[in-house]
Amino acid sequence: MEKRNVYFDSAASTKVRDEAIRAMCSIMDNDYGNPSSMHSYGRNARKKIENARENIANAIGSKPDNIYFTSGGTEANNWAIFGAADAHARKGKHIITSAIEHSAVLDPIKKLKSKGWEVTYLMPDQAGCITTEAFSGALREDSVFASIMLVNNETGVINPVSEYSKEIEKRGYNTILHTDAIQGLCKIPFTVKSLGADLITISSHKIHGPKGVGALYIGDGVKITPFILGGSHEKGNRGGTEALPAAIGFGEAAKLEVLNLDDTRAYIFTLKTHLIDSLKKEIPEAVFIGNNEQTSPYISCISLPGYKSEVLMNYLDGEGICVSRGSACKKGARSHTLEAMRLKNNVIDGSLRISFSRYNTIDEVDYLVRTLKKATETIMK
């Protein structure tokens, strides 16, 4: 079997689109002024970054004024959590989150807990979802802040964020609802209105834009304390000169991805369905985690119980195939998401995350399945 180079780790980071690269190169070559400068170069740079902001806002049905650029999803999550906690601490000291959040949410909340905040960690059901009932049961009048991700980065399970918002509204509470929508942007159809969240985190490098830039949507009338001080940038809410080329690349990627969202999503669904059908045929012992209609087609979490995921990953890597064990930020540590789902140890230890992009093909999926089957015939359990 001929060795190939195949990338199935787009939930960690995507290939940057040619259009985004060209837009960034043009900015670096021609429009290199500081967006805060008052001369013609600065004014032109400001026009460019505001156009990018508008493209990103359009991708989530927001007004441009509600979009604030950050250095990425991690900063946006930290800002949402620490900013909301600081601005609303006098209303209460209770936070709701889940046990399956990205570490960019769990670690800041852990820091708040060490400072006296009470935290309720919601557990997923067997499918990996944080149910509306679980959220409703944890919601209290002194729940100042809640953070539940839209799409889980390891399983692809979609959480009912809009239902959480309705629960808060039904109770008449002032709970600030934040969602990490990084794995949902331009992949799962949503708008700020449909989600009903007050704060929404998004990122560029999951949608074929560059790394090093993300954004935080802040709803009208929502008050959070600035996280980075040092100037009047981003309307005084986030100090530091904006990363203009990266922001332009983000805006270009968002504009193009949302234009083709439905077609790309349908294509990705065919890839995932083909993967699952082929694995069921070739490797019957394979386990599919979080695989239902409430799962993103872009992520497939599978397990080969009895095998070690590190060994399988190394084997695949040797054959030119890139997959992951879970979140790239965990760097090989055991998945807290799969543990929270109360899966058997051998299922967790044999798990792999296969994540797709517009650049993958059916032929690549077939190569992956053939190689995995060969691995099970070669590697000792």
CATH number at residue 288: 3.90.1150.10
pTM for this model (two decimals): 0.96
Spell 190-205 as b/e; 16+ CB within 10 A means b: bebeebbbbbbbbbbb
Q: What is the CATH number of the domain that holds 100?
A: 3.40.640.10
Residues of the chain with pLDDT under 70: 1-2, 326-333
Q: Which of 195, 227, 259 is the last residue of a domain?
A: 259
* Alpha carbon distance 165, 175 (integer Å): 9
318 and 329 share one domain: yes
**Residue 269's domain spans which residues?**
6-16+261-378
Give me the phi and psi of 282, to 5 degrees please.
Answer: -90, -30
**323-346 pLDDT tens trace:** 998 654 555 567 999 999 999 999
**95-105 pLDDT tens trace:** 999 999 999 99
41 and 65 share one domain: yes
Going by C-alpha positions, the residue among 246, 221, 225, 245 that lies closest to residue 236 is 225
CB 175 within 8 A of CB 135: no
Q: How many domains does the chain have?
A: 2
The reported pLDDT for the residue numbered 343 is: 95
Give me the phi and psi of 242, to 5 degrees please.
Answer: -60, 145
CB 8 within 8 A of CB 299: no
| Active-site position among 129, 186, 322, 329 | 329
**59-93 pLDDT tens trace:** 999 999 999 999 999 999 999 999 999 999 999 99
Q: Which of 227, 259, 291 is the last residue of a domain?
A: 259
Give me the phi and psi of 98, to 5 degrees please.
Answer: -125, 165
Three-state secondary structure call for residue 48: helix
Residue 329 annotated to the active site: yes
CB 333 within 8 A of CB 364: no
The reported pLDDT for the residue numbered 381 is: 72
Three-state secondary structure call for residue 38: coil
